[in-house]
Amino acid sequence: MRVAAGDTAAMLAQLREAVLFDEGALAVLPVPGDTEPAADDLVAGFVPAEVALVVETSGSTDAPKRVMLSGSALRASAHATEQWFGGQRGQWLLALPATYIAGAQVLVRSILAGTAPVVLPQGGFTPEAFVAAARTLDPDHPWFTSLVPVQLARLVEAAEHDRSVGTALGSFDRILLGGQAAPAGLVKRARALGAHVHRTYGSSETAGGCVYDGHPLPRVGVRVVDGEVQLSGPTLASGYLDDPERTAAAFTVDADGTRWYRTGDLGELVPDVAADAGTPAGAPRFPDLLRITGRADDVIISGGVKVALGEVERAVRSVAGFEAAVVLPVADPEWGDRPAVVVERTDAAASAPPTEPVGTGTGAAPAHPALAALAAATDAAGLPPAGRPVRLVALDRMPLLASGKPDRRALAALIGREATS
């Protein structure tokens, strides 16, 4: 049944029934708002009995999908997080919309822990609201929350001139950070304020984050096949609602019966040579760390050279003022696709014109100082000359989805218009 995500009491009540009973309860489909939505009998007819939650993805680069999660998958994810926390059960602060898996899982973990979540008012995250909500948490319980990078960045920046924000951040026993890659240096700055931050990796298809600080949670399998990251374990989704073709493309089964989710992300397993400073003592560890390098669908061919835009974006974000920049392809008549950078106008990028093209040859010298700095960063990262950005677009405000992620489809349309104007 459809449930208004803004009506937390209704969400908790319906999720409790759906999560605790594998069959017999109606699956929950959270929708934006706080008023009771109309029923959708057509949708309900396609939901298998074991499904507890249906999450509609944000669709930042693709058409939205409705991901079906069983009660057992949600419980497995919550219990794995509890193990990562050393068996701690605490009180959660809900700072994300419950229409997204990270927000819904805050409610699921609260149900299983037997604690009442504190709900941050939706409709605009502010450090002041975060501090006020934190002050209402029960001091007799450990405190947990889930944030996206844009939220943590606002808190870290506010803490530089407001001690109460830094105090609130440091008061949480664990902060899960996911949804997208964190800008360079953000986690380090947060930890310097006393925040116990864990980078998480996962998606709706894995019932939320299932890899913390590069390590898979208990019973989660990780492998890299032809450069693509694949995940297995009890947290996997049942598939996509009324979309068997998409389900078959995203999930595969080995000869031994192991089911894997094909993430579409590029990555690698690298030796764990040093323990992450934020990893809890006694947390499960894996011989290797998972490192995400980009998306399989963001590899472009430029002058016959393969360029992973995720790697370009990582290098670009190491430049001051470009920590939250987005890298997208722009068509070039001679070289094919080339990298373009979209950035929200900051002091470091303030001198950039609204659109600044440069020479199209791989050895062409950037005409703008900011582009020269970005070229130097990609060179230092070991990327080929074809990976140097050739266009810079500075916006007054980055278009974001409700989840806090950049709206890459809107940005791609903007880049396309600029390239043809």
pLDDT for 150 equals 84
Strands (E), 362-413: 391-395
Instruction: Render pLDDT for 291-349 as a digit per residue (tens, 0 to 9).
Output: 988 887 788 888 778 888 888 998 999 898 898 899 998 888 777 888 999 998 865 55
pLDDT for 279 equals 66
pLDDT for 359 equals 38
How far is the C-alpha of 15 from the C-alpha of 412, rounded, in Å?
Answer: 37
How far is the C-alpha of 122 from the C-alpha of 135, rounded, in Å?
Answer: 17
Give Cα 237 distance to the centre of its chain. Answer: 17
pLDDT for 352 equals 46
How far is the C-alpha of 348 from the C-alpha of 144, rounded, in Å?
Answer: 34
- Provide the whole-model pTM: 0.78
Which tokens sit at 379? 């060179």
Query: Burial code of 63-91, b = ≥16 C-beta within 10 A, e = fewer?
Result: eebbbbbbbbbbbbbbbbbbbbbeebbbb
Strands (E), 65-157: 66-70, 91-94, 118-119, 143-147
Residues 6+ apart with CB under 8 A from 33: 4, 5, 6
Domains of the chain: 2-293 (3.40.50.12780), 303-420 (3.30.300.30)
Q: Are 288 and 93 in contact (CB under 8 A)?
A: no
DSSP string across 178-225: -SSPPPTTHHHHHHHTT--EEEEEEEGGGTEEEEETTEEPTT-EEEEE
Q: Are 211 and 198 in contact (CB under 8 A)?
A: no
Which tokens sit at 336? 């094919």
pLDDT for 303 equals 75
pLDDT for 356 equals 45
List the one residue out of 399, 393, 385, 396 whose CA is nearest residue 416.
393
How far is the C-alpha of 212 from the C-alpha of 234, rounded, in Å?
Answer: 16
Q: Which residue has the tokens 């070289």?
A: 335
Q: In degrees, to the nearest 5, what angle opens at C-alpha 21 toward C-alphas 98 and 17?
A: 45
pLDDT for 360 equals 36
Weakly modelled stretches of the chain, pLDDT under 70: 23-24, 34-45, 58-63, 123, 274-286, 346-368, 402-404, 417-421
